[in-house]
Structure 1
Amino acid sequence: MKWAILHAVSILALVHIVYCIDHYRYDDLVNVLQRVASDCPSITRLYSIGYSVEGRKLWVLEMTDNPGQHEMLEPEFKYIGNMHGDEVTGRAILTSLVQYLCDEYKNGNTRVEYILNTTRIHIMPTMNPDGFEYAYDYVERHGYRHWMYVGRNNANDVDLNRNFPDLFPKLYNKKLRNDGQNHHLSYSTMYSEMLRENETLAVMHWLDDYPFVLSANLHNGELVANYPYDASRNTYINEYAATPDDQLFRQLARTYSKNHGEMSTRKTPCEYGGDVFVDGITNGASWYSIRGGMQDYNYLATNCFEITLELGCIKFPAKEALPGIWDDNREALLAYIEQVHRGIKGVITDENNNPINDAVIEVDGIDHDITSTSTGEYWRLLPEPGTYRVHASAASFIRETKTITLEPDGVAMVINFTLHSFPMDNETTEEPVTDQVDVDKIVPICSGYRRWFYIFCWNIDR
Structure 2
Amino acid sequence: MGRPCLVLLLPLVVGLDFGYHHTKEMEAFLKEVHKNYPSTTHLYSIGKSVEGRDLWVLALGRFPTQHKIGIPEFKYVANMHGDESVGRELMLHLIEFLVTNDQHDPVITRLIDNTRIHILPSMNPDGFEATTQFDCFPPYGRYNANMQDLNRNFPDVFDSNNATVQPETQAVMDWIKNEMFVLSANLHGGSLVASYPFDNGNSVTITSDDISRTLDNDIFMHLARTYASNHAIMYEGTPCHNGDDFPEGITNGHAWYRLKGGMQDYNYIWGQCFEITLELSCCQYPPKEELPSFWNDNKIALIEYIKQVHLGVKGRVLDTHGKPIPDVIVEATGRRHVCPYKTHRNGEYYLLLLPGSYTLNATIPGFLSLLHDVYIPNGTANFSALQHDFIFPSKKPARIEPASCPTKPLYSRDYHKSTSATLKPPVNTLIFIYILYEVFR
Residue 96 in 1 paired to residue 66 in 2?
no
Map Cα deviations across residues 85-125 of structure 1 (whole Å, 9 max, x no partner).
0000110000000011111115x211111011100110000
TM-score, normalising length from structure 2?
Answer: 0.85
| 1:36 counterpart SS class | helix
Find 1:212's aligned residue among 175, 181, 184: 181
**Aligned partners of 1:232 and 1:239 also within 8 Å:** no
The separation in 1 between residues aligned to 2:435 and 2:155, in whole angstroms, is: 27
Find 1:155's aligned residue among 145, 149, 169: 145
**Aligned partners of 1:73 and 1:378 also within 8 Å:** no
| 2:432 counterpart SS class | coil
Deviation at 1:395, TM superposition (A): 3.0
Deviation at 1:133, TM superposition (A): 0.5
Q: What residue identity is the alignment partner of 1:270? A: C
Residue 416 in 1 paired to residue 414 in 2?
no
Instruction: Give runs of aligned pairs for residues 9-408 of structure 1, distance below 5 A.
Output: 10-11=10-11, 14=12, 16=14, 20-105=17-102, 108-135=104-131, 137-139=132-134, 145-169=135-159, 195-233=164-202, 239-266=210-237, 268-271=238-241, 273-368=242-337, 369-384=340-355, 386-395=356-365, 397-408=367-378
The separation in 2 between residues aligned to 1:147 and 1:239, in whole angstroms, is: 28
| Structure of higher CA gyration radius | 1
| 1:69 counterpart SS class | coil
The separation in 1 between residues aligned to 2:317 and 2:361, in whole angstroms, is: 11
| 1:367 counterpart SS class | coil
The separation in 2 between residues aligned to 1:125 and 1:197, in whole angstroms, is: 18
The separation in 2 between residues aligned to 1:216 and 1:392, in whole angstroms, is: 28
Question: How many correspondences in the alignment?
Answer: 395
**Aligned partners of 1:398 and 1:437 also within 8 Å:** yes
**Aligned partners of 1:63 and 1:121 also within 8 Å:** yes
**Aligned partners of 2:326 and 2:345 also within 8 Å:** yes
The separation in 1 between residues aligned to 2:394 and 2:271, in whole angstroms, is: 27
Deviation at 1:299, TM superposition (A): 0.8
**Aligned partners of 1:238 and 1:288 also within 8 Å:** no
Deviation at 1:421, TM superposition (A): 5.5
Please report the RMSD computed on the Cα atoms of aligned residues, expressed in angstroms: 2.5
**Aligned partners of 2:365 and 2:437 also within 8 Å:** no
TM-score, normalising length from structure 1?
Answer: 0.81
Deviation at 1:365, TM superposition (A): 2.1
| 2:236 counterpart SS class | coil
Deviation at 1:138, TM superposition (A): 2.2
5+ unaligned residues in a row in structure 1: which ranges? 1-6, 140-144, 171-190, 425-432, 444-462
**Aligned partners of 2:13 and 2:100 also within 8 Å:** no
Deviation at 1:436, TM superposition (A): 2.1
Deviation at 1:397, TM superposition (A): 3.7
- Poorly superposed stretches of 4+, deviation over 3 Å: 234-238, 421-424, 438-443
- Counterpart of 1:179 in structure 2 is none
The separation in 1 between residues aligned to 2:364 and 2:396, in whole angstroms, is: 15
**Aligned partners of 2:43 and 2:57 also within 8 Å:** yes
**Aligned partners of 2:336 and 2:439 also within 8 Å:** no
| 1:100 counterpart SS class | helix
**Aligned partners of 1:356 and 1:372 also within 8 Å:** yes
Map Cα deviations across residues 49-68 of structure 1 (whole Å, 9 max, x no partner).
00000000000001001221
Go from structure 1 to structure 2 and tell me whether the alpha carbon gap of 1:335 and 1:358 turns closer, same or farther (over 3 Å shift). Answer: same
Deviation at 1:409, TM superposition (A): 4.4
| 1:152 counterpart SS class | coil
| 2:234 counterpart SS class | coil
The separation in 1 between residues aligned to 2:216 and 2:172, in whole angstroms, is: 23
| 1:251 counterpart SS class | helix
Deviation at 1:318, TM superposition (A): 0.8
- % identical equivalent positions: 42
Map Cα deviations across residues 166-198 of structure 1 (whole Å, 9 max, x no partner).
12259xxxxxxxxxxxxxxxxxxxx98x81000
The separation in 2 between residues aligned to 1:407 and 1:418, in whole angstroms, is: 22
The separation in 2 between residues aligned to 1:299 and 1:80, in whole angstroms, is: 15
Go from structure 1 to structure 2 and tell me whether the alpha carbon gap of 1:396 and 1:366 turns closer, same or farther (over 3 Å shift). Answer: closer
**Aligned partners of 2:331 and 2:351 also within 8 Å:** no
The separation in 2 between residues aligned to 1:127 and 1:75, in whole angstroms, is: 22
The separation in 2 between residues aligned to 1:226 and 1:146, in whole angstroms, is: 21
Go from structure 1 to structure 2 and tell me whether the alpha carbon gap of 1:134 and 1:282 turns closer, same or farther (over 3 Å shift). Answer: same
Deviation at 1:270, TM superposition (A): 1.9
**Aligned partners of 2:312 and 2:378 also within 8 Å:** no
| 1:203 counterpart SS class | helix
